[in-house]
Amino acid sequence: MSLPRARFLTAALVCLPLVLTACARSEDSDTGGGTGAGSGGGEQVVATPSGGAAGPGCTLEAYGAPKLDLKTAVIGFSQSEKEANPFRIAETQSMRDEAAKLGVKKLLVTNANSQLSKQISDIQDMINQGAQALVVAPLNSDGLEPALNAAKAKKIPVLTIDRKINAKACDTYLAFLGSNFVEQGKQAAQQMAKALDGKGKVAILLGSSGNNVTTDRTKGFVDEIEANSPDIEIVAQQTGDFARDKGQSVMEQIIAAQPDITGVYAENDEMALGALVALKSAGKKPGEDVQVVSIDGTRNAVQKVVDGEIYAVVESNPRFGPLSFKTLTDFYAGTSIPADVIISDKLYTKDNAAAEVGSAY
Ligand code: GZL
């Protein structure tokens, strides 16, 4: 997904035209969906019509869904990955917090535990439980068609957050809310170039396969290095599946094969934290003889920036609650929704990490 720089910023902190009635009943429709970090501070929203052109966007009439008042609505949220990752914990908590704040009648929450087949059945179950609109954090960019088609058949709008699916906006799904992942990779490359003073050997810990986040974060990083850092060589790329334990084991393998690496780009913080363990076990000094750059903005990783073990962390903002419910509220009020609504992300470096670590998730 390569999106143009945003044209405008829209504060997502708009007071929604909903009078608080009662807290939403947030029901776990299965064993998933724990609680964890709060939804954190508000975030700026950068809304960019799909493809950069001022596209027509999607209206309630065009989508063909019935009007809905969130105060009397049943909304379903499908989380993809098990909540061992602060990104997922904060993402789910943000949905629960915003639903409660707005007085949504009922929020159903499911967790697919990183299994595509379960995410499909989770969504179908919530439809059967009466969900009138769905917010889905897709596990993969493909494969959800059986669930999405079931929603479409019942005119149930689906917002996808975080990862993007290969389907038609304002049709199979309503719109995509997420970060610009190519830009995240580009920013990570710029930080890596600074950390290495423009020269060195870099390994990439790739995210899990089958989703646009890994593809785009890799593209953004590699394209930027190839375009602007001729003396930085990418000597290894291997997936750590966005997981801490696999990030550590893959880092061990890479160190054995490439003992003279001087940079590690981790496509998420969990893998970066695992890589730090492997690097130190191999006698390397992160922040001195090897530089680590990561993406997500979890509190543990930002603290490592404060400690000097990670050079920079590009945030991937998981706090989709306010944006999701604002987008739904706007949609049901008749506003045209862009195909891609891009949430803005922070950058943590040694210059701001100490001051900002408290607001990291
Ligand atoms: C990014 C998201 C990624 C996170 C990982 O938006 O899809 O998945 O970066 C998570 O931490 O597992």
51 with 172, same domain: the answer is yes
- Would 240 be classed as within a structural domain? yes
Give, using CA atoms, the residue closest to atom 2 of ligand 1. Answer: 162
User: Ligand 1 centroid to 268 CA: how many Å?
Assistant: 7
What DSSP letter does each residue of 243-289 carry, written as one string? -HHHHHHHHHHHHHH-TT--EEEESSHHHHHHHHHHHHHTT--BTTT
Ligand 1 neighbour 125 (Cβ under 6 A): no
- Would 6 be classed as within a structural domain? no
For residue range 4-39, what is the model confidence (pLDDT) as tens digits? 444 444 444 443 433 333 445 667 765 333 333 334
- What local confidence, expressed as pLDDT, does residue 330 receive? 97
47 with 173, same domain: the answer is yes
- Out of 242, 267, 270, give the residue to mutate to test ligand 1, the one with the largest number of ligand atoms within 8 Å of its CB: 242
- Would 58 be classed as within a structural domain? yes
User: Ligand 1 centroid to 86 CA: how many Å?
Assistant: 10
- Would 19 be classed as within a structural domain? no
Among candidate residues 353, 346, 361, the one with its CA nearest the CA of residue 287: 353
Ligand 1 neighbour 43 (Cβ under 6 A): no
277 with 167, same domain: the answer is no
Considering its fold, how many domains does the chain have in total?
2
142 with 214, same domain: the answer is no
Structure pTM?
0.87
199 with 150, same domain: the answer is no
- What local confidence, expressed as pLDDT, does residue 46 receive? 53
Q: Which atom of ligand 1 is nearest to the CA of 163?
A: 7
HSE value, Cβ hemisphere, 13 Å, CA-based, for 40 = 24
- What local confidence, expressed as pLDDT, does residue 52 receive? 42
Give, using CA atoms, the residue closest to atom 8 of ligand 1. Answer: 242
- Would 350 be classed as within a structural domain? no
- Would 358 be classed as within a structural domain? no
User: Ligand 1 centroid to 22 CA: how many Å?
Assistant: 32
248 with 325, same domain: the answer is no
Q: Is 158 strand, coil or helix? A: strand
269 with 153, same domain: the answer is no
- What local confidence, expressed as pLDDT, does residue 51 receive? 42
Query: What contacts 245, CB < 8 A, 6 or more positions away?
Result: 274
Last residue of a domain, one of 298, 316, 334: 316
Which positions of the chain have pLDDT values less than 70? Answer: 1-26, 29-55
253 with 208, same domain: the answer is yes
- What local confidence, expressed as pLDDT, does residue 56 receive? 74
CATH classification at residue 295? 3.40.50.2300
- What local confidence, expressed as pLDDT, does residue 344 receive? 86
Range of the domain at 117: 42-177+319-343
- Pick left, alpha or beta for residue 335 (phi over 0 → left; psi -120 to 50 → alpha; otherwise beta): beta
91 with 138, same domain: the answer is yes
Query: What contacts 234, CB < 8 A, 6 or more positions away?
Result: 202, 203, 204, 222, 225
203 with 237, same domain: the answer is yes
User: Ligand 1 centroid to 19 CA: how many Å?
Assistant: 33
291 with 303, same domain: the answer is yes
User: Ligand 1 centroid to 25 CA: how many Å?
Assistant: 27
In angstroms, the CA 215 to CA 167 distance is 17
209 with 335, same domain: the answer is no
